[in-house]
Amino acid sequence: MSNPRIWLITGASSGLGREMAELVLKKGEIAVATARKPETLDDLEAAYPASQLLVLKLDVTKLEDIKAAFIQIQQVFGRLDVVFNNAGYTMAGEVEATPEGDARALFDTNFWGAVNVAREAVSFFREVNKPSGGLLLNVSSMLGIYSAPCAGFYTASKHALEGLMEAFAGELDPDWNIKISNLELGYFRTEIMKKLSTVYAHPAYTKPTLPTVAARTILLGDLPGGSAPAEGVQRIFDLSLLPDIPLHFALGKDAVGAIKAHVENLGRDATKFESWSEGLTGLELVA
């Protein structure tokens, strides 16, 4: 490419992050691939010149790592075009079963890690890029829109990210030319579920008809179906080239179907009890 874009990819050691790093490089663009263990990217580093690939150590739970990565990107390349805000992991178990410390650690990565990367990205896009501008792609989930039994804290972390990014996108000055998109992904056959070694269980939730019992069985086995990660990142890459990028981007038929059904259910409940709001004016915003 005559003017290759520069991408920052978090969580590039495996899964969608690794797939995206490989695709960006194959497309002739420039990748800053980050991982908690950068040695997992040694093979990529050996295959591409330093002018096209920069590998950095980055633990998104450490703000100093995040800031150092953006400083190094500025020093090496002078600009940054796309951030693939991908680092994260999953957790399963009933709400009552999940230890608070483990749930907080999940939020440190999935929410605060992603938020701190996003804040640094927007600052870089505005203050460093000349002219200003950039694209922030947040890897969310269909479970960031609706929730499911046995996934309460994971879905909560993604719900929180979705809500904050909606607010963040609304705060940006259009003149900055910064776009934010939440990628509400369906199930892709990545390592993320294979790394799910623990599914917390509470002794009160043992009745075979309870949904969490079935969920635990499925999660600890081989999940059926799933889309190919390479196909997913190709479509995300194609999305990044569009002039008008949506704030919400559902990817995968499972994601599209579940989100549409959830929105329909919300509308049905709102309509069913709409009469209860008669006489309750609420907030009157002045246009």
Q: Say which of 13, 48, 141, 158 is annotated catalytic.
A: 158
What phi and psi, each to the nearest 5 degrees, are found at residue 253? -60, -30
Question: Rounded distance, CA 261 to CA 284, Å?
Answer: 30
Contacts of 287 (CB under 8 A, 6+ apart): none
Closest CA to 180 of 120, 121, 135, 224: 135
Question: Rounded distance, CA 116 to CA 123, Å?
Answer: 11
Question: Rounded distance, CA 250 to CA 143, Å?
Answer: 11
* Beta bridge mates, 85: 138
* DSSP one-letter string for 79-93: ---EEEE------EE
Contacts of 107 (CB under 8 A, 6+ apart): 153, 156, 157, 160
Q: Say which of 13, 48, 154, 200 is annotated catalytic.
A: 154
Question: Rounded distance, CA 81 to CA 136, Å?
Answer: 9
Question: Rounded distance, CA 34 to CA 232, Å?
Answer: 20
Active site residue 154: yes
Contacts of 83 (CB under 8 A, 6+ apart): 7, 8, 10, 117, 118, 121, 134, 135, 136, 137
Q: Say which of 13, 48, 140, 141 is annotated catalytic.
A: 140
- Residues taking part in catalysis: 140, 154, 158
